[in-house]
Each structure stands twice: as C-alpha cells, then as structure tokens.
Amino acid sequence: MRVLIALYFISFFTNGTSCFNTEEQSAKWNGAYANQFKIDSELNDDSYSVVVSIPKYIEKQPFDLASIIISDGETPSFFATLQTFEENGETKVWFQVKAGVTEKHQLIFSYGEGCGISVTVPVVLN
C-alpha cells in the first residue's frame, strides 16, 4: 500500500512542469512574429476601439490564448484574457481603451500547448 501511495505522489509531482522562456528567446519571438499581428484602432468620442487580427498558426503551432497587460511601465496594474471571435475568415480580439490614458498596453499571444511560443505586442494608439 505504501508503494502505491508513493507512486501516486511521484506521478502527481512529475506532471507539474513549468516553462521559463529567457529574455533572449522572448525577444527572438517578438522580433520574428510581432509584425504578423494587425492592430487597428479607431477613436470614437472619448475612447479607442482596438481590433487585432491574429494568425491562426505560428511555426505550425495553433493559436491558444490572447491576453492583455496594462501597466505604468514597470508594474502591471491589470491582466485579463481576451475573448476571440471570427470575422471574414480571420481570428480577432477586441477591446476598448479610454483616450488620453498614460498606461502602457501590451497584448500577449500564446501558440501551441505547454511550452509553446509566446509573442508580446505593444499597443500604440493613434
């Protein structure tokens, strides 16, 4: 019985793997793939409507998750995942930002399962 309990805990802990991308790896992915994300922003009254077109695959790995980070440049103040939708055969995300904000907005797109590719794209409002 003790052996079964020990094997259970060993198998439980071996399934908990973590992925850590180096800054060098992240910079490589951002440089290679950030230009594949088309960001359109439109000013409506006192806020920007931002729509981003997302590639379905990067390096044969399927799109998995989109998220947004809002920060003051140093410390994140908000993080959320974004809901995707299909329009004209393209996968897209949408969000709205109040005009005149000074915070930085970055989008993070993940591809593949587990330790896949992660691309960070800054949002520059017109």
Which of the residue ranges 7-11, 58-62, 68-72, 113-117 would you say has the lowest mean pLDDT?
7-11
Report which residue type is found at 73.
Answer: G
pLDDT digits (tens, 9 = 90+) for 63-121: 999 999 999 878 899 999 999 999 999 999 999 999 888 889 999 999 998 888 999 99
Give domain limits for the chain. 34-123
pTM, full prediction = 0.80
- Output the CATH code of domain 34-123: 2.60.40
Q: How far apart are CA 83 and CA 99, in angstroms?
A: 22
CB neighbour burial string for 67-92, b if at least 16 within 10 angstroms, e if fewer: bbbbeeeeeeeeeeebeeeeeeeeeb
Q: Are 97 and 105 in contact (CB under 8 A)?
A: yes
